[in-house]
């Protein structure tokens, strides 16, 4: 297992290098000028040229690339062209809200969706199954911002149970964190509940038809043990894959939800950086996102062996 993990970690190096080269070139080939954003509307071409010089944007592409790679190898993500603040600091500030909201979303989603999927499969073709699938279709179909606005209208404007917007870290008190994180998490969870419930149902339906399930039932094993110990464990691999991919998607940015609930997360940082052509921030963000995907996929792969003893590394 250790050797497998080590190999996978080493395999990320060429992946990240390719991502780095691709991102760097893509940004330089995309129209846009950070100097123009920095200087504002009234800057003359001569002033823009001098600012570009100072920012190193007039250096040859290779020079710019190797300067950036050199910084990366020293663990330095650089400085934002606009705010002059450390990119690593900006990422650290924004990662907290995103991770916390993602964890809460995934927790809610798994807690609700897995039992829903199991029950839907267990009560296949009954009104329970129909209800779960209807919710699932709804969850897929309604845009997240609509769900967000509806939740805000009900729980923040009408009932005033929670604030409309904003974010507080758990360090500021669990109540302050929870009251602000619950609506965005529920909003995001809607689509993940739909996704995970469908996957769980499909996977369970397949497993529930297996001989060993029939055998277990014939031996008089209680139904909840059949469902959750025998069936769910064997149906877990595709469900875990969906959860892992979903978590990576949540971490890599949910711009609309972050905007609707005014959460200063990774998604907004990425969009703002792209609109301002803040190259160091965009490059760091895309590398981070790629890294998260690689890491989450590795975690998912490793976790397979815990649920399915037939999988060995």
Partner 1 sequence: MLTLRSALKQTRGLAAALLTGTALLAPGALAAQDGETTITAVMHSGLRVLDPVITTAHITRDHGYMIYDVLTAVDENFAPQPQMASWEMSEDGLTYTFTLRDGLRFHDGAPVTGADAVASLQRWGKRDSGGQLIFDVTTSLEAPDDKTVVWTLSEPFAPLLDVISKQSAVPPFIMPARVAATSSDETITEYVGSGPFVFNEAEYEPGVNVTYDKFDDYVPRDEPASWMAGGKVVNVDKVVWTTMPDALTALNALSAGEIDYLEQVQIDLMPIITGNPDVTVEKRDALGYVTIGRPNHLHPPFDNKLVRQSAMAALDQESMLATMQGDPEYYSVCGAIFGCATPLGDASGSEDLTGGANIEKAKALLAEAGYDGTPIVLMAPTDVISLINQPVVAAQALREAGFEVDMQSMDWQSVVQRRAQQSPVAEGGWNMFFTNWMVPEVSDPLINVMVNGRGDDAWFGWPTDPEIEELRAAFVSAENPASQKEIAVKIQQHVMDNVNYIMMGEYIIPQARRNTIQNMIPSPVPVFWNMTKAAE
Query: Residue 282 interacts with partner 1 (CB under 8 A)?
Result: no
Per-residue interface string for the shown chain with partner 1, residues 6-25, x marking contact by CB under 8 A: --------------------
Q: Which is nearer to partner 1, 129 or 278 (CB)?
A: 278
Return all residues near 175 (Cβ < 8 A) that are at least 6 apart.
none
Q: Which of 93, 124, 170, 306 binds partner 1 (CB under 8 A)?
A: 93
Instruction: State in Å, rounded, how far the first CA of the chain is from the last one.
Output: 5
Evaluated on CA atoms 76, 81, 87, 89, the torsion sign reads positive
Q: Which of 1, 29, 41, 211 binds partner 1 (CB under 8 A)?
A: 41
Q: Which of 47, 71, 241, 297 binds partner 1 (CB under 8 A)?
A: 47
Query: Residue 241 interacts with partner 1 (CB under 8 A)?
Result: no
Distance CA 301, CA 304 (A): 5
Distance CA 5, CA 203 (A): 27
Q: Which is nearer to partner 1, 44 or 309 (CB)?
A: 44
Token pair recorded at residue 84: 């002059």
**Cα three-residue angle 215-198-267, rounded to 5 degrees:** 140
Q: C-alpha dihedral over 106, 107, 111, 117, to 10 degrees?
A: 10
Distance CA 151, CA 182 (A): 10
Per-residue interface string for the shown chain with partner 1, residues 50-69, x marking contact by CB under 8 A: xx-xx---------------
Of 9-17, 110-118, 168-176, 195-203, the window that binds partner 1 (rule: CB under 8 A) is: 168-176
DSSP state of 229: I
Query: Residue 174 interacts with partner 1 (CB under 8 A)?
Result: yes
Q: How far is the CB of 309 from partner 1 (least distance, A)?
A: 42
Mark 99-117 as b/e (b = at least 16 C-beta within 10 Å): bbbbebbbebbbebbbbbb
Query: Residue 173 interacts with partner 1 (CB under 8 A)?
Result: yes
Cα-based distances in Å from 187 to 143, 149, 263: 10, 9, 13
Query: Residue 176 interacts with partner 1 (CB under 8 A)?
Result: yes
Q: Which is nearer to partner 1, 121 or 186 (CB)?
A: 186
Query: Residue 260 interacts with partner 1 (CB under 8 A)?
Result: yes
Query: Residue 33 interacts with partner 1 (CB under 8 A)?
Result: yes
Q: Which of 5, 8, 16, 37 binds partner 1 (CB under 8 A)?
A: 37
The footprint of partner 1 (CB under 8 A) covers 31-33, 36-48, 50-51, 53-54, 80, 82-85, 90, 93, 149, 152, 156-166, 173-176, 178-179, 182, 259-262, 264, 268-269, 272, 275-277
């Amino acid at each position: 297992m250790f050797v497998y993990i080590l190999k996978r970690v080493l395999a990320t190096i060429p992946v990240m290098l390719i991502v780095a080269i691709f991102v760097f070139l893509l940004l330089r080939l995309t129209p846009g000028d950070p100097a123009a954003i920095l200087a504002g509307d009234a800057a003359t071409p001569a002033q823009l040229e001098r600012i570009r010089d100072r920012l190193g944007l007039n250096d040859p592409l290779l020079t710019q690339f190797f300067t950036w790679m050199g910084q990366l190898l020293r663990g330095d993500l650089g400085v934002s062209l606009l705010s002059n603040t450390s990119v690593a600091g900006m990422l650290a500030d924004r990662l907290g809200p995103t991770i916390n909201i993602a964890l809460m979303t995934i927790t809610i989603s798994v807690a609700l969706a897995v039992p829903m999927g199991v029950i839907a499969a267990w009560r296949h073709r009954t009104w329970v199954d129909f209800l779960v699938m209807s919710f699932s279709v709804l969850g897929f179909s309604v845009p997240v911002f609509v769900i967000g606005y509806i939740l805000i209208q009900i729980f923040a404007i009408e009932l005033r149970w929670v604030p409309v917007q904003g974010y507080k870290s758990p360090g500021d008190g669990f109540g302050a964190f929870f009251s602000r994180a619950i609506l965005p998490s529920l909003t995001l969870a809607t689509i993940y509940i739909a996704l995970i419930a469908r996957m769980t149902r499909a996977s369970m339906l397949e497993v529930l038809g297996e001989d060993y399930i029939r055998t277990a039932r014939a031996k008089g094993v209680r139904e909840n043990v059949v469902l959750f110990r025998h069936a769910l464990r064997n149906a877990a691999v595709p469900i875990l894959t969906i959860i892992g991919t979903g978590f990576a998607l949540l971490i890599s940015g949910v711009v609309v939800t972050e905007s609707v609930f005014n959460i200063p997360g990774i998604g907004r940082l990425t969009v703002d950086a792209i609109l301002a052509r803040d190259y160091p921030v965009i490059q760091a963000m895309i590398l981070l996102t790629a890294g998260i995907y690689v890491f989450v996929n590795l975690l998912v792969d490793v976790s397979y062996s815990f649920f399915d003893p037939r999988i060995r590394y």
